[in-house]
Amino acid sequence: MHATSTAPEAPRGDDLVVVRPQGLYCPAGDFHIDPWRPVERAVITHAHADHARRGHAHYLASAAGAGVLRARLGEGIALQTLAWGEVVEHRGVRLSLHPAGHVLGAAQVRLEHRGRVWVVSGDYFLSAHDEANPTCDAFEPQRCDVFVTECTFGLPLYRWRPQAEVFADIDAWWAANAAAGRASLLLAYSFGKAQRLLAGVDAGIGPIVVHGALDAVNAAYRAHGVALPPTHAVQVLPAADLRRALVVAPPSVRGSAWLQRLGEFSDAFASGWMHLRGARRRQALDRGFALSDHADWPGLQRAIAATGAPRVIVTHGHEAAMVRWLREQGLQAGAFATEYGDEALGDAAPA
């Protein structure tokens, strides 16, 4: 997602994870983790489209994420699941999955081989406020020798406000729009962010409408026991109800014919990128709410410290800045060049 001047991590002869053209690869176990090209055996950290792609012969993922993975990749995938902490051994590599706190089913991959432990984080969330994402299992740090970490928001300027404050702002915006007789269009990625918003807003303000792109994922969340408020399709609500509704939809609806059904509306985008001044203005939005499912700068620091790992390998995000900071802390640090970083893949919303 971001350009980096950091040289790629040079592989060592006994590394448990290396980069191949297909993606991150475990040579000892002969499997890939979140590969971006078709492979025989793929361990999937979570179902965002930059990490979970079609075309692999066999998939391994968390039991908590199975419903969403099938909803996005198809019921027919060859999928094996593991409960949190359950261990499977393959070619001498002991593999287990542990909560990452990012979205439903998001896992860290723990690998143990000949006394060495590596953890591949995928994407994860924790903050300086000891908050958890209420729609998924909270991040559980794993002690390891090498930690492979994302750094999507790996700059000191990224520090999240308490989520209760952000939801209070969203509710106030929605209530003001409802009082003025206009719909509130809240744009959010259809997997993860949309469900977190649905679970966090005050459903007593008015009806909630969701775009059809959210339906399958919402159903998977509800089937897993995540409490989401009742929602409606846009075409079933009378115009009077639409004028006080919160409408949650993927960003790709902007400029589409689907929006004509809303009548007058105010629009907003919920994303960690809204933390940047100017981001909302550049997108010509009425409001921007900085709410992320990724760790902020203090969260990344906490997660890395909790692993106790003397060696840290950074993947997607602000790699150069994170590697530099890690080395200043006396850690061995490098970066993997990956194709992760665009959670909006697969979020297309047809009119």
Residue 349 has pLDDT above 50, yes or no: no
Spell out the residues 6+ positions from residue 201 whose beta carbon is closer than 8 angstroms to its own.
Answer: 167, 170, 171, 174, 208, 229, 246
CB-count burial class (<10 Å; 0-12, 13-18, 19+) for 345: middle
Coil vs helix vs strand at 184:
strand
Smallest CA-to-CA distance from 20 within 3, 6, 36 is with: 36
Q: Do 99 and 107 meet the contact criterion of CB atoms below 8 Å apart?
A: yes
Q: Answer yes or no: are the C-beta atoms of 192 and 68 closer than 8 Å.
A: no
Query: What is residue 5's predicted lDDT score, i.e. its pLDDT?
Result: 42
- % the chain with pLDDT above 70: 93
**What end-to-end distance do the CA atoms of the chain give, in Å?**
28
* H or E element in which residue 323 lies: helix 319-328
The stretch 263-284 carries a mean pLDDT of 86
Per-residue pLDDT tens over the stretch 43-53: 999 999 999 99
The answer, yes or no, to whether residue 244 has pLDDT greater than 50, is: yes
In angstroms, the CA 16 to CA 5 distance is: 25
**Model pTM greater than 0.85?**
yes
What pLDDT, on the 0 to 100 scale, is given for residue 344?
Answer: 62
Domains plus CATH for the chain? 18-158+293-335 (3.60.15.10), 163-289 (3.40.50)
Whole-number pLDDT of residue 14: 85
Class of residue 63 by CB neighbours under 10 A (exposed 0-12, middle 13-18, buried 19+): middle
Name beta bridge partners: 172: none
pLDDT at residue number 276: 87
- Give pLDDT, residue 9: 55
Provide the pLDDT for residue 2: 38
Please give the average per-residue pLDDT across 311-334, as a whole number.
96
Q: Is the pLDDT confidence value at 6 over 60?
A: no
**Residue 129: pLDDT band by 50, 70, 90 thresholds?**
confident
The overall average pLDDT reported for the chain is: 93
In the prediction, which pLDDT does 345 show?
58
pLDDT score at 128: 76
**What's the mean pLDDT in 120-129?**
91
Can you give the pLDDT at residue 347?
62
> What's the pLDDT score for residue 145?
98
